[in-house]
Amino acid sequence: MLSGVPPTWPGDNYDYFWIIDYPPNSNVPSHFSMAEFSDPYKSVPANDWDEPNGLEASSGCKIKSD
């Protein structure tokens, strides 16, 4: 296991990416980091957790309904 990898998602803040790097031609991870949504991603619209996301079926995304 890589150092610094939390055993579970820390808390109820989901504004982070988990970034896992792999060396070429390997399926064994070599580096882990956690990055907060920041520029250029801060402008990406996001719904409140577990709330309807306002997407339409034609988007091809999984829809969270009312």
Please report the beta strands in the chain, taking only residues with DSSP state E, as ranges in sequence order: 16-21, 31-36
The residue extents of the domains of the chain are: 15-66
- Against a cut of 0.75, is the pTM above it? no
> How many angstroms separate the CA atoms of 4 and 2, rounded?
6
Query: What are the pLDDT tens digits along the chain (66 aa)?
Result: 677 788 887 677 777 788 889 999 999 999 988 887 777 776 766 666 667 767 777 877 777 665
